[in-house]
Amino acid sequence: MRRGAGIVALIWGINILVLAALLGAVVFYINQQPAQAAFPAPVATQPAQAIFTSEPTLRPLPTVPQLAATPVDRAPATSTPLALTSGRRATIIGLSVSGRPLEVYTFGQGEKKRMIVAGIHGGYEWNTIALADELITHLDGHPDIIPSDVTIYILRNLNPDGEARGHTREGRANGRNVDLNRNFPINWQVDWPRDGCWKDPITGGDSPGSEPETQALMRFIETHPIDALISYHSAALGVFPGGTPWDDDSKRLAQALSDVSNYPYPPVDTGCLYTGTLADFGVAMGAASVDMELSNHRDTDFEINLRVLGVFLNWQR
């Protein structure tokens, strides 16, 4: 009996211990609930973690414009693109001393590359820029006049800083008082005898090809196989072949253009020594090249130069 009573007491003791453990677990659980509310389980933090993904770093801020894939085709704020029917835009091949764009319009897709450059003397020869704009607009509206084997490039204004300075003799030089048509590296001189030449204090630059406008055009010609080039000027002296002595192909081109324009060839000889000219550089790069002077500083001679354009597009070396 005494042994049975001991067993019963042991069983009750175990039951009491189990009950106490259960009560302790309940109390512990109740005490833990506020702590869990103050510190949410990790799963509750998932929405906040989304801000650390890489996605936001790929979005530009609203005030920061995205760069274009080909920024050279987007004119800077100082550019005023021509309103062409086709929507055609210029290629920007460089910037002037003051950051103005140098704009080239391209027409045709042929293997023969022709180029017209205007505005090398800026505002003093502003009518060459106006003529270039008229020719660009005409070609845009009449692409059928371009032979299938020809591409023509028109650089409408090589000296926008001079043009912005005004349509006077003060507009002849670029932003560093350099005559761009004396800055090319063929027969270059920093200065030259002024007999029969422009006498204002203007230079050929610090060194051959020192100016950003010259450099941009040189790069373009070096990377495009130009086979014939017209550099427009004003006024009245005629058509000057490039080369020293004059290049044979350039003389033939000068004669062909003179025949339809009545601009004098041979040109008027004032006794001026021409150094560092675009036409001489063009010849050195393999292009038949001419400097061609309009009849005055006011008119574009558009009808005359439509005939010139037709001959130029179809001229054969």
Question: Taking 50 as the threshold, does the pLDDT of residue 51 lie above it?
Answer: no
pLDDT bucket at 24, cuts 50 / 70 / 90: low
Per-residue buried b or exposed e for 269-281, using 16+ beta carbons within 10 Å of the residue's own CB: eeeeebbbbbbbb
Question: Tens digit of pLDDT for each residue in 60-69?
Answer: 322 222 323 2
CATH top-level class of 80-314: alpha beta
Question: Tens digit of pLDDT for each residue in 227-272?
Answer: 999 999 999 899 999 999 999 999 999 999 999 999 999 999 988 8
Higher pLDDT among residues 20 and 145, named by residue: 145
Mean pLDDT of the chain: 83
Q: For the whole model, what pTM was predicted?
A: 0.75
Question: Taking 90 as the threshold, does the pLDDT of residue 141 lie above it?
Answer: yes
Tell me the average pLDDT across 14-32.
56
pLDDT of residue 198: 67
Question: Taking 90 as the threshold, does the pLDDT of residue 273 lie above it?
Answer: no
pLDDT of residue 7: 58
Distance, in Å, from the CA atom of 153 to the CA atom of 39, rounded to the nearest integer, reads 71
Question: Tens digit of pLDDT for each residue in 116-138?
Answer: 999 999 999 999 999 999 999 99
Higher pLDDT among residues 18 and 45, named by residue: 18
**Is 177 buried (19+), middle (13-18) or exposed (0-12) by CB count in 10 A?**
middle
CA angle 117, 182, 72 (to 5 degrees): 45
Question: Taking 90 as the threshold, does the pLDDT of residue 100 lie above it?
Answer: yes
Q: What are the residues whose beta carbons fall under 8 Å from the beta carbon of 143, sequence distance 6 or more?
A: 107, 108
pLDDT of residue 30: 47
Higher pLDDT among residues 114 and 47, named by residue: 114
